[in-house]
Amino acid sequence: MRATINLELEQPIKLPIQYNHIINGAILSCVQNVRGNDLISDDNFKKQMRNRDLYTFSKLQGRFTMDTTNKKITYHSGTNLLISSYEDKFLTSIVNSLVLRENIKILNQEIKIHNIETSLYSVKEEEIKVYTKSPITVYKLFKVEGKNKTCYYSPDEKEFSEIIRKNLINKYKLYYGNMPKDTRFFIEPLSRKKPKESVIIYNGIVIKAWSGEFVMRGASELLNLAYQSGIGAKNSQGFGCVERIEN
């Protein structure tokens, strides 16, 4: 399930350039608000919170200006946020909360919601072309002289696709409690554009990630899981959100 939250900005909203953690906090506060209003039972709440890593969200989309000197970004009219989740109940609880509140709190600013558009589309094919709405990060952790070292992989390295495949299988096992019957998955950039590398700082941690257009092939169950919950690592921190490229 996916929900596009269209914001009604009465005045521009100014944020730090590195704002992923702020948006994630705003999303989770909506889940907590729902619990406080008894819209879901405690058991459902716990299940949804266990599944919270099966969601992702986009960068804020819309017209903006950048102040690199002060490391601020200002969004103007026509701004929206996409949230996508493999667990429909989790996202439904967020949408219900936002409908009741009629606003979303971002960095102590109450922003009015113009409307919310939802989609129940799921991937049935064995190939889908997508573009990133938030960059994809792929990495492995290694021990070097007793210390953890993070090695990031770019889309032109063979490890990139295989690590994503294994990550999806782990997600599937987490959600269903068993291995998928079909574990085929492959992702590569579309040839027309080279993915762009970016560096994001999340709560002081430096993360390398890539934006661009990609084609995913394989088992439709894994493709749908990737499309709904996000591609790569750190999805619930705002990485790996993609949208279909419609032919």
pLDDT at site 101: 87
Q: Is residue 57 very low, low, confident or very high in pLDDT (cuts 50, 70, 90)?
A: very high
Q: Is the pLDDT of residue 215 over 90?
A: yes
pLDDT tens digits, residue range 91-150? Answer: 888 898 899 889 998 988 889 999 999 999 999 999 999 999 999 999 998 878 778 889
Distances 170 to 19, 57, 64, 180 between C-alpha atoms, Å: 28, 20, 37, 10
pLDDT of residue 34: 54
> At CB < 8 A and 24+ separation, what contacts does 155-164 make?
155/187, 155/188, 155/189, 155/195, 155/210, 155/212, 155/214, 156/189, 160/187, 161/185, 161/186, 161/187, 161/188, 163/138, 163/139, 163/232, 164/136, 164/138, 164/226, 164/231, 164/232
Query: Quick check: 210 and 155 in contact, CB under 8 A?
Result: yes
Look at residue 50 and tell me whether its pLDDT is greater than 60.
no
Q: Report residue 117: phi and psi, to 5°.
A: -105, 130
Domains (ranges, CATH) in the chain?
2-119 (3.30.70.1890), 127-244 (3.30.70.1900)
Cα 217 to Cα 27: distance, rounded to the nearest angstrom: 30
Write out pLDDT tens, residues 157-192: 999 999 999 999 999 998 888 999 999 999 999 977
Beta-bridge mates of residue 208: 199
Rounded Cα distance, 6 and 11, in Å: 15
Contact 224, 87 (CB under 8 A): no
